[in-house]
Structure 1
Amino acid sequence: GPDGIWRTLRDGFRLPEPESPAIAEQIDHYTGDPQYLARVAERSRPYLPYIVERIRQRGLPMELALIPVVESAYKPFAYSHGHAAGLWQFVPGTAKHFGLRRDWWYDGRRDTVAATKAALDYFAYLNEFFDGDWLLAIAAYNAGEGTVQRAVRRNERRGEPTDFWHLDLPAQTEAYVPRLLAVRDVVRHP
């Protein structure tokens, strides 16, 4: 049943659990509006079993199933001002690069099966690109790998730590990773 899905999700959480004021702030934001998360959970029902199964098959962290919570609130027709579309909010260039077809009749970004495969391919690529650092991979999903790589190099030159929490990234990206980790923490301790 649906409870089984949430259990599978919780059992597969693998991302680090830092103590961060940014995460605490996002947890307050989400727990302050329980109706909102209930609506998102309800909307996720048609998609979550499929997404969880694909993540499990590929041995990826289950937190990735919560990316659509942050990206689109699990609305398949979500469309952003940045021309991102679908549950996973692919922008046209990335969509094309990961094989999502778009024409007048069809937009692969709105096709749950195709878009989920593309998103997980992209995450696997980013995780490898950042030597297994999932938080950098997730930041790059939001900002692009070039932006994150430049921030890493900047810190390397200064002899500063290169983990996510020490990088100077766009404000949206600095909020994105804590938001995902906050959703994970709320799902873990509802």
Structure 2
Amino acid sequence: MLSVSLDGFFEGPEHQLDWHRVDDELHVHFNDELRTMGGFIEGRVTYELMADVWPTAETDPASSAPTRGFARIWLDMPKYVFSRTLERADWNSTVVRDVVPEEILALKAQPGGDLVLGGADLASAFLRHGLVDEFRIYVHPVLIGRGRSPFPAEAMVPLRLAESRAFGNGVVLLRYEREA
């Protein structure tokens, strides 16, 4: 699952994410999708960004109902944090040092639902090893002009459109599956 601007960036040049158009409808959709998953696979940067917000969001009186709902999902969900420098991770998290395809395939084979991959560098490593089965791209109706692309320049992955959906705020979900 990945949010991108219309011009294809997942973050601005200074790592900005403030252009995301997440309203209650989209947040509820994210929660509905994510609560069925078996775990989050995150890079260190993504994990640290999430850990800065979600452990306290559930009890923050300023949080909306969808925000509180996601906080509970994130806290309860198993997390696999890929990092060579992080010593430990809290909130139902396991630190993993390297992307070993056989270990990822074994993790994917476990019961409990799909795994959600977060972090551009980590996603690039998973793509290189052919470990990404599906892409859920949320295109936000904004041009940010500059930023970071979520996909490695050398990636050539044939895909098939499996679903599209427009939300009231103009965000469009494009769900692609890998071609066989």
**TM-score of the aligned structures, taking structure 2 as reference length:** 0.26
Structure with the higher fraction of residues in strand conformation: 2
More helix by share: 1
